[in-house]
């Protein structure tokens, strides 16, 4: 064997070892739900039982006599995304946030239903169990889509609608434009493939989670080790990765809607959006602004897809002004 061949052989061996080592360090087995809950739940955490017997994680905090804000998170998010807002709103308002099925400390549910209709039903159940009368519904990202659809069917319950970092697509062309304009995290791109959805049930490297968070925010100082560990822990909770995969497959077929439906939302509405949102370009709020009769748009320079985490004080001020005026 020549010296060149020996060098190439050794390079291939080293490369193979590195690949195997990387794969080995990317394999994470499910962590028991009880362990994740013990680590991340706090004194405000509650678990209420729904009709299918599943326990939904929620927090009901702040001024229990104040006006009510019910907050819904986005895809692969959790109620933890709203935590930075709480100190700025809790003196005046009752703040209710929940982890949707497949997310947060709720995780997988008995029904195995992870879609828009199921999530709207979960909100209906939570509202009934907590005996909430009138409230403001807040939805971030995917939660914004859930929120406006819920609003159309339950206008009598709502005082106002607040949509943060969410998009509306009226046709396939707009959805294709959205996919070409925006730069989703690698993990989001991978889950568009059924093969990678199955693969991510086992290979969930921490670096992939960090990359995902980094792309969603403008200010990179937000991406701390503590935050990455929290996201990574939660996605590893038993059953969650399978449930997220099921949701991802359903989402692909449920993005497009008739913009004229938005005209039915005859309650005060507020659209909040970061101007540096890499996941949802601000142009995709146009239908909200054009079709909802009583709507206001506020955009934020140097803010990405996560305003509740990036500018909690400013966001809280704008939400409070909206609630006080409506």
For every residue of 204-247, DSSP letters joined together read --HHHHHHHHHHH-S-GGG--HHHHHHHHHHHTBTTHHHHHHHH
DSSP state of 42: -
Q: State whether residue 116 is helix, strand or coil.
A: helix
Q: Do the beta carbons of residue 303 and residue 282 sit within 8 Å?
A: no
**pLDDT at residue 246 in the model:** 84
**pLDDT at residue 25 in the model:** 45
Helices 116-130 + 142-153 axis angle, to 10: 70
**pLDDT at residue 171 in the model:** 87
In the chain, what are the helix, strand and coil shares in percent, each to the nearest 5?
A: 50, 15, 35
Neighbours of 110 (CB within 10 A): 12
One-letter-per-residue 3-state SS of 280-319: CCHHHHHHHHHHCCCEEEEEECCCCCCHHHHCHHHHHHHH
- Alpha-carbon separation of residue 207 from 25, 190, 227, 228 (angstroms): 11, 14, 13, 9
For residue 247, count CB atoms less than 10 angstroms from its CB and return exposed for 0-12, middle for 13-18, buried for 19 or more.
buried
**pLDDT at residue 248 in the model:** 80
**Pure H helices in 42-201:** 86-89, 116-130, 142-153, 172-181, 186-190, 194-199
- CATH class (in words) of the domain with range 33-325: alpha beta
Q: State whether residue 139 is helix, strand or coil.
A: strand
**pLDDT at residue 31 in the model:** 87
Give CA angle at 128 (248, 150), nearest 5°. 45
> What distance in Å separates the CA atoms of residue 306 and residue 216, rounded to the nearest whole number?
6
**pLDDT at residue 249 in the model:** 75
The two structure tokens encoding residue 127: 């509202």
Helices 225-235 + 240-251 axis angle, to 10: 90
DSSP state of 169: B
**pLDDT at residue 184 in the model:** 55
pLDDT in tens, the chain (326 residues): 454 444 444 344 333 333 333 443 445 678 899 999 999 998 899 999 998 899 999 999 999 999 999 999 999 899 999 999 999 999 999 999 999 999 999 999 999 999 999 999 999 999 999 999 899 999 999 999 999 999 999 999 999 999 999 999 888 888 778 777 665 554 445 445 555 555 565 567 788 889 889 989 999 999 999 999 999 999 899 999 889 888 887 776 677 899 999 999 999 999 999 999 989 999 999 999 999 999 999 999 999 999 999 999 999 999 999 999 99
- Among positive and negative, which fits the CA dihedral 37, 40, 42, 47? negative
Q: Do the beta carbons of residue 286 and residue 197 sit within 8 Å?
A: no
């Amino acid at each position: 064997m020549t010296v060149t061949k020996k060098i190439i052989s050794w390079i291939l061996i080293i490369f193979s070892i590195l690949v195997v080592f990387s794969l080995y360090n990317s394999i994470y087995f499910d962590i028991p739900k009880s362990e994740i809950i013990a680590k991340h739940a706090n004194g405000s955490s509650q678990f209420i039982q729904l009709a299918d017997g599943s326990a939904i994680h929620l927090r009901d905090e702040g001024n229990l006599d104040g006006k009510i804000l019910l907050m819904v998170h986005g895809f692969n998010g959790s109620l933890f995304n709203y935590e930075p807002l709480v100190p700025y709103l809790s003196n005046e308002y009752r703040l209710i946030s929940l982890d949707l099925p497949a997310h947060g400390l709720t995780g997988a549910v008995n029904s195995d239903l992870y879609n828009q209709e199921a999530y709207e039903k979960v909100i209906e159940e939570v509202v009934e169990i907590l005996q909430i009368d009138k409230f403001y519904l807040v939805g971030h990202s995917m939660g914004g889509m859930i929120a406006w659809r819920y609003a159309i069917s339950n206008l009598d319950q709502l005082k106002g609608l607040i949509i943060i970092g969410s998009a509306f697509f009226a046709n396939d062309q707009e959805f294709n434009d959205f996919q070409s304009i925006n730069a989703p995290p690698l993990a989001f791109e991978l889950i568009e493939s059924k093969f990678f959805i199955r693969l991510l049930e086992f290979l969930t490297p921490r670096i992939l989670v960090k990359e995902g968070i980094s792309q969603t925010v403008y200010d990179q100082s937000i991406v701390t080790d503590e935050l990455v560990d929290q996201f990574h822990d939660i996605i590893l909770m038993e059953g969650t990765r399978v449930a997220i995969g099921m949701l991802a497959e359903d989402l692909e077929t449920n993005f497009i809607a008739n913009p004229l439906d938005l005209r039915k939302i005859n309650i005060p509405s507020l659209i909040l959006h970061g101007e540096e949102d890499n996941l949802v370009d601000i142009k995709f709020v146009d239908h909200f602004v054009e079709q909802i009769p009583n709507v206001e748009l506020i955009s934020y320079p140097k803010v990405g897809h996560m305003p509740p985490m990036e500018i909690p004080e400013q966001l809280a001020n704008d939400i409070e002004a909206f609630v006080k005026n409506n």
